[in-house]
Amino acid sequence: MNRPQTSPAIDIARARADTPGCAGVVHFNNAGAGLMPQPVIDAVKEHIDLEARIGGYEAEDLARDRLDEIYRSIAWMLNCKTEEIALVENATVAWNTAFYSLPLRPGDRVLTAMAEYASNFLNYLHAAKRLGVVVEPVPNDETGQLDTDALERMIDGRVKLIAITHVPTNSGLVNPAAEIGRIARKNNIPYLLDACQSVGQMKIDVEEIGCDLLSATGRKYLRGPRGTGFLYVRDSILEKLDPPWLDLRSARWVDPDRYELAPGARRFENWEFNFAALLGLGAAVEYALDWGLDAIEDYVTAYAAHLREELHAIPGVSVRDIGARQCGIVTFRVRGKAEEIAAALTTEGINVSVSVASSTLLDMRARGLDNVVRAGVHYYNDEAEAERFLTAIRRLAAEI
């Protein structure tokens, strides 16, 4: 399924005009939560107003066609089937639902990345404690990305899952997801990809990547509302999974002692939704598709590369991004400081965030880092904002 990419390039003026937040702040915290564009804001507000006028259930009924369209939009974006998409509250729910659906047993090995996100790794440790699985990080190569040769050497009959964070929270790294997918398919091993920070800033094709499961959020680079997310479940793995919980949406009670699971990935959904937020998610996906994901990736990648180049040239600034391929996340420190820098930028109306060691413990400890400033850029950030940010960093570096 290849939806036409309707925008060959990014019209920055239009993107900024569509984004009310651009008038008040330089927003370089898109890896935390992107600024919502006006169509997303309108979709959320209109449904909330409708619920207030006629009631929540009645508003849902009137929005049914638009709610169904969300599955189709996400399927276009990921190049998959509509039936392979489940809508959930956030990426954590999506990832945990997928992980705990797998039939892991004592002694099974789970292979993951050095830069795996803390929320995921906590659940590996939880599964190790409860189920007796063995969790093993794959070493990085010389660029800092997951070493696919090492991954192949680690595989044996006990490996029952490869689970990787595509874009880590603490650097511009893009792990080689498609190469990992080829290894997983060759060895018939389930492959779970955390795409929380890659969906929306780059083209994600699950057929090209070869993942069986993918989790994502709406609030980051997709620029949707908080409290939205989705899970992709390849249909060929569906019957090997056992949902960790059921409710009236994921299953139907058909006899006193029998239930039937909902068809497709919807067996992983919860009955109660924030429907206004879901409609905002659908609007965000359509908005991104209309710009063109290739165009978004080209702009975001080039913008981040420019920031890295300029930051490298500032005395006292150390850029901490790794990997053969890098994306729209730029991480750095100024004379060893991060939290102080982020706080100072905030006072000047520049939004960034700080990634701390506990968010990606293995990677940060291996690199001797306790924190980094994280600037996540997007296609509505313009040249003037880049210069305003860099001017502030130059001044802070000189003052500290």
225: exposed, middle or buried (Cβ count in 10 Å: 0-12, 13-18, 19+): buried
Please give the CATH architecture assigned to the domain spanning 40-290: 3-Layer(aba) Sandwich (3.40)
CB 102 within 8 A of CB 190: yes
State which amino acid sits at residue 103.
P
Fold of 12-36+292-399: Aspartate Aminotransferase, domain 1 (3.90.1150)
Q: From first to last of its 400 residues, what are the pLDDT tens digits of the chain?
A: 334 333 448 999 999 999 999 999 999 999 999 999 999 999 999 999 999 999 999 999 999 999 999 999 999 999 999 999 999 999 999 999 999 999 999 999 999 999 999 999 999 999 999 999 999 999 999 999 999 999 999 999 999 999 999 999 999 999 999 999 999 999 999 999 999 999 999 999 999 999 999 999 999 999 999 999 999 999 999 999 999 999 999 999 999 999 999 999 999 999 999 999 999 999 999 999 999 999 999 999 999 999 999 999 999 999 999 999 999 999 999 999 999 999 999 999 999 999 999 999 999 999 999 999 999 999 999 999 999 999 999 999 999 8
CB 135 within 8 A of CB 128: yes
Token pair recorded at residue 134? 């063995």
State which amino acid sits at residue 107.
G
Q: Is 337 helix (H, G, I), strand (E, B) or coil?
A: strand
Sequence-distant (6+) residues with CB within 8 A of 383 are none
Amino acid 5: pLDDT:
38
Q: What are phi and psi of 221, to 5 degrees?
A: -70, -15
Name the H helices within the chain: 12-17, 38-54, 56-62, 64-78, 91-101, 118-131, 148-154, 177-186, 206-209, 275-291, 293-312, 339-347, 361-366, 383-399
| Residue 99 C-alpha from the chain's centroid | 16
DSSP string for 258-283: EEEEPSGGGGG--S---HHHHHHHHH
Sequence-distant (6+) residues with CB within 8 A of 251 are 243, 259, 260, 261, 262, 267
Q: What are phi and psi of 139, to 5 degrees?
A: -60, 160
Domain boundaries, the chain: 12-36+292-399, 40-290
| Residue 108 C-alpha from the chain's centroid | 27
CB 327 within 8 A of CB 167: yes
CB 30 within 8 A of CB 376: yes
pTM of the predicted model, to two decimals? 0.95
Q: Is 155 helix (H, G, I), strand (E, B) or coil?
A: coil
Tokens 């702009």 locate to 299
- What is the 8-class DSSP label of residue 359? G
